[in-house]
Amino acid sequence: MFERTGSAGRQSAHVQEVLASPDAAQRMLAFFQPGAQPTGPAS
């Protein structure tokens, strides 16, 4: 169980970073629209 907590923590931090970014709305739309090309710089 504990070996997975580090990975879960990193994934949670990444999601928080994505949601707090200035382009969060565009990134969320791109995630939920398969085949859509993301706009802006890749991170």
36 falls in which pLDDT band (50, 70, 90)?
low
For 4-13, the pLDDT digits (tens) are 898 899 999 9
Cα–Cα distance measured from residue 40 to residue 26, given in angstroms and rounded to the nearest whole number:
9
Q: Comparing C-alpha atoms, which of 4, 34, 32, 19 is closest to residue 43? A: 19
As a whole number, mean pLDDT of residues 24-41 equals: 76
Query: What pTM was computed for the model?
Result: 0.51
Judge whether residue 39 has pLDDT over 70: no
